[in-house]
Amino acid sequence: MQDGRCTRLRVIVIVPGSAIVTVVARAYLDKDGVNALFVPVGAWGKEFVMVAPFSILGIDHVVLRAVDSAELERFYLDVLGLGFEKRQDKLVQLRAGQALIDIVPADEAGPAGGTSSTGGANLDHLCLRVEPFDAAAITRHLAAQGVACGAATLRYGAEGKGPSIYLRDPEGNGVELKGPATDSTPNK
């Protein structure tokens, strides 16, 4: 095999806890002709996407940019009832169940060095799973806090189709409050 060329070959794959399988693969050499990349080939000659060497367990945290960090922090603490986790310089971390919502100043790079490429919103909405989900009680609570929200509607989420309500935080980020699934059938 030379650089830029590929060859078909059979590769034996051993998956821990599973059987040994043989797959047809294409092998591509790197530019130095030393290392090969093996790409499994499907029945019709299409390449499969390689499986990641890890499993996604859930969302650890979401980072929101804020023009007024203090106002956004108060909203998530006082209106939505998140818990305070910790403060690190200009970063505040709030507890949302098993996950965190971080708030950073909008005019500075976040912890990962990222910035909004458009100067505008870099998030459509985040969804918070809530329980119990009583649409009337949630709507009354939000109204008492001066927060407008949409009507409760059944929407599909991580647990299946269930009730949810959309609202906006003080920075204009969409927030969905999601109740338990009433139908866990996928894609309905």
pLDDT for position 152: 95
Question: How many separate domains does the chain show?
Answer: 3
How far apart, in whole angstroms, are the C-alpha atoms of residue 71 and residue 6? 57
Q: Which residues pair with 176 in a beta bridge?
A: 127, 166
Q: Same structural domain for residues 94 and 151?
A: no
Backbone angles phi, psi at 136, to 5 degrees: -65, -45
Question: Same structural domain for residues 75 and 91?
Answer: yes
- List pLDDT tens digits, range 54-90: 566 778 899 898 889 999 999 999 999 999 999 998 8
**Structural domain that includes position 17:** 1-53
Q: Does any domain span residue 10?
A: yes
Q: What is the domain-level CATH number for residue 108? A: 3.10.180.10
169 shares a domain with 157: yes
pTM for this one? 0.61
Q: Based on the domain organization, do 65 and 98 belong to the same domain?
A: yes
Q: Do residues 95 and 134 both lie within one domain? A: no
